[in-house]
Structure 1
Amino acid sequence: MITACTSADMDLQPLNGPTSGTFPASYEEGKMGLFAAYRNLSTLDAASTPIWHVMDNITDIGYARPGTNYTSPITSSITTTNALAIKPWEIHYKTIARCHAVLDKLNDIPGLTEAQKQELGSELRFIRAYCYSQLIELYGDVPLVKSTVTLDNANVPRTPITEIQKFIIEELGAVAPQLPISQSQFGNVRASRIAALMLKARVELYSKQYAAAAATSKQALDLAAGVHSLTAFNSSVNYAGKDHTVGEPDPSNIFGHSGFSGSKEWIWVAEYNINVPGYLHNQQYYSASRLGKGVCYWGPTQNLIDSYEMTDGLSITESPLYDETNPFKNRDPRLDMYAVRPHSRYLGYQFEPNTAFSKVNNYWTVVNGGAPTQVANADATNAYRSFSGYLWRKVVDIADFNSTSVSGNSDLNVGIFRLPELMLIYAEAKIELNELDNSVYDVINQIRARAKMPVLTNGLSQTELRKALRYERKVELANDGLRWYDIRRWGIANTVMNGYLYLNRNANNWTKSAISSFDESANPVYNHPKASTYFTTQQVVYKVNKDEYWPIPQSEMDANPSLKQNPGY
């Protein structure tokens, strides 16, 4: 039998589907490869939560349940075998490989028209550029491969980050004109010209090429006019600052199922689909309260909660509106639209982490026309209740309440690019150039107006506008997964990630004396002796010349002798 298997026999290809030897053999197979690359991005998760909603929870504004994977990144003790640090490298390079599987043979696909070649090529190059943009932010210098790597050429050394930035910017400049201005007909899950320009502007901003970032983001904003727009909060914004008896704040018309299907705010979206095996995540289960059928894995820190301004636009240390006996009243409505705090309603229940509340209201009975009932308060008694005392509202949709379970039944999409970030990229680039014209105020004020916050005072200095910009990025983009990058590129990680994170797991009352002031990046400066009497703390450590980047996974070092490890690991 062995001798009967000639080499010709072994080279025969199946006739009933794609094979590695002939793929892609048609436009349809090329599209399959394109969709597989998009699909692979959505597999990047941690604790069954898409990576975009994990990253802020290892910074000063979010906190994860204590454990090796999430405590080590904030205590300068992450290792080369840490699952969180390994996965992005693995998934992004797998996605890049999927891009190359089509790109390498694009000119050889039979019958492919120029329009089809442009469609496949431009989107695949966009995905590859996005993967590299993430890799360099997380790991610094990484191998830059532009075609399929085989065992014969697998030992690729690291490429300087500046060279990769140049590659990304040039690639996006080349493919942007080839992409449709909008891909809204596909639910924004495919790359558009606006998305390509936004990614280009982001890389330019992060690499401090401010003039280029301002020009590129302005081009994207001009194209976005009439295509993308800010979505007004629904009427539940009127519940912000009020207690559970009034109603439940609900941002789902932007961040929920209805938002991803109807909001014009989304520029690029990661898609999930309950009808496709494995095309799900369990974000709601890991994010929700105990009574909301969740496990409270992630939550905002006290640092973020204290950062929200008062409705007069002043900080809680400056505003006469601040009442320390009712600290959530008269606050920026985004506090309640994006986060969950004590005395509010969340997923149909009164949320109270303090053990003084042995029973809380169940408002699901009200939906059926009845009165609230009382239930035992698991959010105060469960050993694994919220570790920060707060939860995220932004990434949870009450429509998924009935299907939330440990098995992971959510196919809520996840936004990657959103219009407010594009607007703030433009504003930041202009501020750093010290070009403080009306266009800077306009984009920031549009975001503030949507949040029902007062506009900025005219005539601010560069330092004052920078603080206003950093405030908006902190609170508007909270839990969008960008804070990890922001505090590093601004050079403030050494400050905000050294010392203590303040948590309020027991939902204690506190006085204004716990905070001394707010710094030039809109971060609270705590009076530690006083603050530590009210709050629990998590000690955090950030080592300069080490914690700017994660370690290269040990498995990659073992497989590729040409790789050199990042400093400090």
Structure 2
Amino acid sequence: MKRIYFFVIVMVTGLGTLFSCKKFIEIDPPKNSLIPATVFKSNDLATSAILGIYQQMAALGFASGDAGSISTICALSADEFIGYQTNLKLVFENQISPEVSITNDLWTSSYKRIYDANAILEGLELEGGITPPVKIQLQGEAYFIRAFNYFYLVNLYGPVPLHLSTDYQLNSKAVRRPVNEIYDQIIKDLKAAELCLQDNYASTGRVRPNKATVHALLARTYLYLGDWANAEKYSTFILEKNSAYKLVGLDQIFLSNSLETIWQLMPAAGTNTPAGAFLILTGVVPPTFVSLRADFAEQAFESNDARKPAWVKSILANGTTYYYPFKYKVKSSATVSEYTTVFRLAEQFLIRSEARARQNNLIAAIDDLDAIRNRAGIPLMKVINPGISKENLLIAIQKERRVELFSEWGDRWLDLKRNGKSTAVLAPIKPNWKPDYVLYPIPYVEISRNRNITPNSGY
């Protein structure tokens, strides 16, 4: 009989547990580990396992907000950030290598979290010690985590292996599945999560996905697929919950208690966000890691747009101005006031605005766009151009997405890609640009381990 062990590190601080994806061998578990029979016979331990996944997402890899995150890497690839440190500069210059690129960590950390989610789902089915309400809640969160990670994998790499179990032998031979198949699985997982999760959050704050979180990713997924009706449908589910979710002041959006937040990741105890620690510049010049491109900081915003002074700051050194994002305002403090925001209400307004415009409902699309413009303190579209054409309205929506969502979750990079604008925008400002670069290279180490995985074109 095949035996598979899940290695779980129990954090003595009580912050949760983490499944580590190692080759499976039949040995006694280490003293600081638990086998599944123990983990999944207790509501508290099983819940700690799922919380441990969020802890790892917040601290490491693609979801963290620091140097190796999707927010940083994609902002460098697009037209938002300049890179200074060697590995980051290579991304900025589109000189990415499948052997050593920092983008490899996006792949690795995503598949680790997918493994974790699969381990949760399998453990919940194998053991019977979890009460039904907790089991259903944890299943919903695991389905969501798997879908969330696959959403970014398929958009960053194109066809990718589809891992739906912890079976190492099966996963080690997996081939790259077509993009449409990955999206089908994302939607399937999200529909499963939708059935499991409630409107209310499972714990204090908004640090565990709920039904609205699932709807937020469904809305975004359908937008990327060009399914405008469903994109509108799922964003509307959230926007109609106006007692739970509200647009808040520009300085309040990224606070731990923000009513605009749909889902956020809680930083490690005693710290604020990795993004704030990483992005806020001090007097060191040139910056150690990244800065905002001057052309973005100086030209992307309309006159009197309140987002610019609220979200863009600068330092002047040796006659050169260096700009940086200031959405997260705490670089270092023992007082924790900010969490990493993953989904927020403003994006849902912009998703619905675009979906409505694509369906020729221009008046309603303008209303959604104006909700964002009104907060920014700039003239409303229904006042300055109520008869705007569909084509120009879609351009205006993309421009609004650029300034509202900059430096968040690779949004600009993925918008350029899904709208077929990458080469037109990036070729003039990036001498090394090639159209193949809309996808990142598959890590060479993965290809060497699994000969069924083929490389992306251009690498």
TM-score in same-fold range (> 0.5): yes
Query: What residue ranges of structure 1 are gaps of 5+ in the alignment?
Result: 1-9, 234-250, 312-330, 342-350, 356-379, 381-385, 404-408, 501-538
Residue 450, structure 1, aligned to residue 340, structure 2: no
**Residue 50 (structure 1) shift:** 6.5
Q: Percent identity?
A: 25
Asked if the contact 1:38–1:127 (Cα under 8 Å) also holds between the matched residues in 2, the reply is no
Residue 332, structure 1, aligned to residue 305, structure 2: yes
Asked if the contact 2:85–2:289 (Cα under 8 Å) also holds between the matched residues in 1, the reply is no
Tell me the equivalent position of 1:495.
424
Distance in 1 (CA, whole Å) between partners of 2:357 and 2:65 is 38
Task: State the Cα deviation string for residues 58-101 of structure 1 (Å, max 9, x = none).
Answer: 14442233344223334442110234211111111111111111
Code of the aligned partner of 2:457: P
Distance in 2 (CA, whole Å) between partners of 1:229 and 1:455 is 19
- In structure 2, relative to structure 1, the CA distance for the partners of 1:450 and 1:16 (3 Å cut) is closer
Code of the aligned partner of 1:34: I
Tell me the equivalent position of 2:34.
18
Residue 352, structure 1, aligned to residue 316, structure 2: yes
- In structure 2, relative to structure 1, the CA distance for the partners of 1:284 and 1:89 (3 Å cut) is same
Asked if the contact 1:74–1:542 (Cα under 8 Å) also holds between the matched residues in 2, the reply is no
- In structure 2, relative to structure 1, the CA distance for the partners of 1:540 and 1:82 (3 Å cut) is farther
Distance in 1 (CA, whole Å) between partners of 2:234 and 2:273 is 34
Give the secondary structure class of the aligned counterpart of 1:84. Answer: coil
Q: Which of 40, 45, 49 is residue 56 of structure 2 equivalent to?
A: 40
Asked if the contact 1:33–1:99 (Cα under 8 Å) also holds between the matched residues in 2, the reply is no
Distance in 1 (CA, whole Å) between partners of 2:188 and 2:140 is 13
Tell me the equivalent position of 1:562.
452
Code of the aligned partner of 1:24: F
- In structure 2, relative to structure 1, the CA distance for the partners of 1:14 and 1:59 (3 Å cut) is closer
Distance in 2 (CA, whole Å) between partners of 1:53 and 1:153 is 28
Tell me the equivalent position of 2:259.
264
- In structure 2, relative to structure 1, the CA distance for the partners of 1:111 and 1:21 (3 Å cut) is closer
Give the secondary structure class of the aligned counterpart of 2:236. Answer: helix
Task: State the Cα deviation string for residues 511-563 of structure 1 (Å, max 9, x = none).
Answer: xxxxxxxxxxxxxxxxxxxxxxxxxxxx443312x112101101111111111
Asked if the contact 1:50–1:281 (Cα under 8 Å) also holds between the matched residues in 2, the reply is no
Tell me the equivalent position of 1:81.
99
Residue 471, structure 1, aligned to residue 399, structure 2: yes
Q: What value does the CA root-mean-square deviation take over the aligned residues? A: 2.8
Give the secondary structure class of the aligned counterpart of 2:199. Answer: coil
**Residue 289 (structure 1) shift:** 2.9
Tell me the equivalent position of 1:191.
209
Residue 231, structure 1, aligned to residue 227, structure 2: no
Code of the aligned partner of 1:57: A
Give the secondary structure class of the aligned counterpart of 1:478. Answer: coil
Distance in 1 (CA, whole Å) between partners of 2:425 and 2:170 is 45
Structural mapping, 1:194-233, within 5 Å: 194-222=212-240, 224-233=241-250
Residue 155, structure 1, aligned to residue 128, structure 2: no
Higher helix share: 2
Code of the aligned partner of 1:477: L
Tell me the equivalent position of 1:542.
433
Residue 254, structure 1, aligned to residue 253, structure 2: yes
TM-score scaled by structure 2?
A: 0.85
Size of the aligned set, in residue pairs, is 428
Asked if the contact 2:219–2:351 (Cα under 8 Å) also holds between the matched residues in 1, the reply is yes
Task: State the Cα deviation string for residues 256-285 of structure 1 (Å, max 9, x = none).
Answer: xxx222x2011111211235xxx8765444
Task: State the Cα deviation string for residues 143-168 of structure 1 (Å, max 9, x = none).
Answer: 11111122365211111110110111
Code of the aligned partner of 2:164: K
Distance in 1 (CA, whole Å) between partners of 2:53 and 2:146 is 9
Query: What residue ranges of structure 2 are gaps of 5+ in the alignment?
Result: 1-25
Code of the aligned partner of 2:260: E
Distance in 2 (CA, whole Å) between partners of 1:461 and 1:171 is 37
TM-score scaled by structure 1?
A: 0.69
Distance in 1 (CA, whole Å) between partners of 2:279 and 2:156 is 24
